[in-house]
Amino acid sequence: MRTGCDEVALHASRALTGKEAGFMLCHDCHCVIPIPDGMRGDEHVEAVCPRCGALVHLRYPDSLTYTWALVITAMILSFPANILPIMKVDYLGSAEASTIMDGIIYFFKEGSYGIGAVILTASILVPLFKIVGIILILLSIHFRWKSWLRHKTIMFRFIEFIGRWSMLDIFVIALLTVLVDFGFFSTIQAAPAATYFCGVVISTMLAANMFDTRFIWEA
Residue-range domain boundaries for the chain: 4-57, 63-218
Nearest-angstrom CA–CA distance, 175 and 191: 14
φ/ψ (deg, to 5) at 155:
-60, -40
Q: Are 33 and 50 in contact (CB under 8 A)?
A: yes
pLDDT at 119: 80
Instruction: Render pLDDT for 82-122 as a digit per residue (tens, 0 to 9).
Output: 898 888 877 766 777 888 888 888 888 888 888 788 888 88
Instruction: Flag whether pLDDT at 18 surpasses 90.
Output: no
Instruction: Judge contact between 147 and 140, C-beta under 8 A.
Output: no
Confidence (pLDDT) at 147: 85
Q: How far is CA 2 from the centre of its chain?
A: 42
CATH topology of domain 63-218: Butyryl-CoA Dehydrogenase, subunit A; domain 3 (1.20.140)
**In the predicted model, what is the mean pLDDT of the chain?**
80
Q: Cα separation of 97 and 129, whole Å?
A: 27
Output the pLDDT for position 214.
83
> What are the tens digits of pLDDT across the range 63-83?
899 999 999 999 999 999 889
**Predicted local confidence at residue 213, as pLDDT:** 85
Burial (Cβ within 10 Å: 0-12, 13-18, ≥19) of residue 104 = buried
Q: Is residue 9 very low, low, confident or very high in pLDDT (cuts 50, 70, 90)?
A: very low
Asked whether the beta carbons of 88 and 97 are under 8 A apart, the reply is yes
What local confidence, expressed as pLDDT, does residue 179 receive?
Answer: 64
For the stretch 128-139, pLDDT in tens is 999 999 999 999
